[in-house]
Structure 1
Amino acid sequence: MPELPEVEALRGFLDERLRGRVFARVELLTFSALKTYDPPLDALLGLEIDGVARHGKFLAVQAQGLHLCFHLARAGWVKWHEALPTRPVRPGKGPLSLRVGLDDDAGFDLTEAGTQRKLAIHVVTDPQQVPAIASLGPDPLAADFTRQSFDAILDAAGKAQVKGVLRDQRTIAGIGNAYSDEILHAARLSPFRPVAGLDGDERDVLYTALRGTLTDAVERAVGLAAKDLKDDKRSNLRVHGRAGEPCEVCGTTIAQVSFADSSLQYCPGCQTGGKVLADRRMSKLLK
């Protein structure tokens, strides 16, 4: 799933290519992806694009009072074309969900792999009309996301586990499964550590790890072509997706906890004092 760093890089990539151009084609192939009906999708036609904004993991293409907002979900992506195919596309079982064409024949596709269709597209007059955008917490890379504001978030979280707090979009916008694993590894904290148990020094370390991990990832990603962002993300992760490999910091084998539809990775040596956490899925099978 693309998270804040990749979505921010996509924002810059699209902003550079879309700003000042005009919507000439909008072809919807996955009808369940469109979550709004008024204004209609074709209301975008003929409008000049003002720019592209990011709201957490959402992107919003702004055009003369309308906003094409989309969330790529777990398996969605953006494919850029310097010259779009001219033939109309037909709805089918392929990955293509939306095709957007510009007045100079360039354009982009929104695609979604797999059978689960969770990519979400909205056409609105204000991004705050999208419920998931309106409920977002603060952006962790914003200038006003201070150590004091982070303290307020942690205080409100109470006994919740720290990984869940980092991933909750209503609490902090833009962090998903991968970067929460990376942040906790950098902070040397167990993913299941209750927030209420963190002392002042641990909060300092967590805040620094959060800002540093995301800032570094954004700096690596910005300027890359959309097609290269996924590989760049994977190649720079230290623990997420690396179960069974040695930790780059301490050499301990990276471990994993599996859930029904996801998993997390961590280093027992760096984060849990050598303790291997119970795999929730395997524990249920053994009962």
Structure 2
Amino acid sequence: MPESPEVQALADDLDRRLAGRAPVEVDVVEFRVVKTRTRPPEGLVGHRVARVGRIGKLLDVGFDGGPHLVVSLGRHGWARYAGEQVEDAPGEDAPAGAVPVAGAEPPPPTLATLQFDDGTALELTDAGDWVSLGAFVVDDPGEVPAVAKLGPDPADPAYTRADFDRAFVGRRKQLKAVLQEQESIAGVGNAYSDEILFAARLSPVVHAATLEAGELERLFAATVDVVVAAIEARRGIPIDRLKQAKVDAMQVHGRTGEPCPRSGGAIRDFSFASTTAQYCPECQTGGEILPLKE
């Protein structure tokens, strides 16, 4: 699932490429992508892009004259420029023109394309078995339900300890669940919640209400530091390489069976909600092994 560091890098790249450009054609291949049926994306033709930004894990494409195209990338959504080549083996986020190699996964299908007046074609894709990508054309991004409910963003310079305390202090909810609760903290998902908890040396399944003052301070610092550092690290990476850059940077997430970079003990899986997450028992749970569903 795309999270705030990768979505920020994507937004920065799109802003650089598309600001000042106007779509001349919009082709929606999968009608379920469009969430504002009375305002289809085709209505954006002729409007120039003013800026592209990020709101939580969503893209916000603002156009001159007021309209916004807000894109919820969902679980497997992404964007690519049509026809561009990559040197490495194309994977899930490879451009449409990438040359396939033996054993490589095919690129995900294009669900919508925006053709711009300079010849750039932006394709919105979804690699999942079900459509999680969503596009909204609105006058104000706050009209999008997922935006309206967002909590404070730890990457925002204005994010404070008070914002953090409102999300955590006294909550009888597991730490990992709070970190992924978009109403409490915007932009963090499964991967970065694992990384934040590892950095803070805290168990993902303890309740926030049980944390002592020093533990809360460590978690606050880790929440801000991990997200901000990841955003800075992804800056300037081509959008077709961002997924791999995220994978390569993980300390524990996706590292099952590998040695912990801090303790040397084995990274382990545990079941969380409908997915699997990772942690270091030696660093985070006092050696306790968290349950894993068969």
Provide the TM-score with structure 1 as the length reference: 0.91
Report the secondary structure of 2:226's partner residue.
helix
Map Cα deviations across residues 116-167 of structure 1 (whole Å, 9 max, x no partner).
Answer: 1111111111111101110111111112211122112212x52111100000
Alignment of 1:210 with 2:211, yes or no, is no
Superposed, 1:160-179 pairs within 5 Å as: 160-179=173-192
Q: Take 1:230 and 1:147, find their aligned partners in 2: how far apart are those partners? A: 30
| Number of the residue aligned with 1:134 | 148
| Number of the residue aligned with 2:247 | 234
| Number of the residue aligned with 2:99 | none
Map Cα deviations across residues 197-245 of structure 1 (whole Å, 9 max, x no partner).
Answer: 1111111110111111111111110111100100100001011111111
Alignment of 1:3 with 2:16, yes or no, is no
CA-CA distance at 1:9 after TM superposition: 0.5
Superposed, 1:1-287 pairs within 5 Å as: 1-64=1-64, 65-81=66-82, 95-155=109-169, 158-259=171-272, 261-279=274-292, 281-282=293-294
Contact 1:38 1:123 in 2 (8 A): no
Contact 1:20 1:48 in 2 (8 A): yes
Cα pair distance change 1:27/1:57, threshold 3 Å: same
Contact 1:38 1:124 in 2 (8 A): no
Structure 2: tracts of 5 or more residues without a match: 85-94, 97-107
Contact 2:75 2:128 in 1 (8 A): no
Q: Take 1:181 and 1:119, find their aligned partners in 2: how far apart are those partners? A: 24
| Number of the residue aligned with 1:285 | none
Q: Take 2:196 and 2:160, find their aligned partners in 1: how far apart are those partners? A: 17
Moved more, 252-261 or 195-204: 252-261
Post-superposition, which runs of at least 4 consecutive aligned residues in structure 1 deviate over 6 A?
82-85
* CA RMSD of superposed structures (Å): 1.6
Report the secondary structure of 2:26's partner residue.
strand
Contact 1:34 1:122 in 2 (8 A): yes
Letter in 2 for 1:77: W
Cα pair distance change 1:159/1:259, threshold 3 Å: closer
Contact 1:82 1:105 in 2 (8 A): no
Structure 1: tracts of 5 or more residues without a match: 86-93, 283-287
Q: Take 2:245 and 2:34, find their aligned partners in 1: how far apart are those partners? A: 30
Q: Take 1:238 and 1:81, find their aligned partners in 2: how far apart are those partners? A: 33
Structure with more helix by fraction = 1
CA-CA distance at 1:259 after TM superposition: 4.8
Q: Take 1:142 and 1:276, find their aligned partners in 2: how far apart are those partners? A: 35
Q: Take 1:149 and 1:36, find their aligned partners in 2: how far apart are those partners? A: 32
Q: Take 2:163 and 2:78, find their aligned partners in 1: how far apart are those partners? A: 32
Contact 2:271 2:291 in 1 (8 A): no
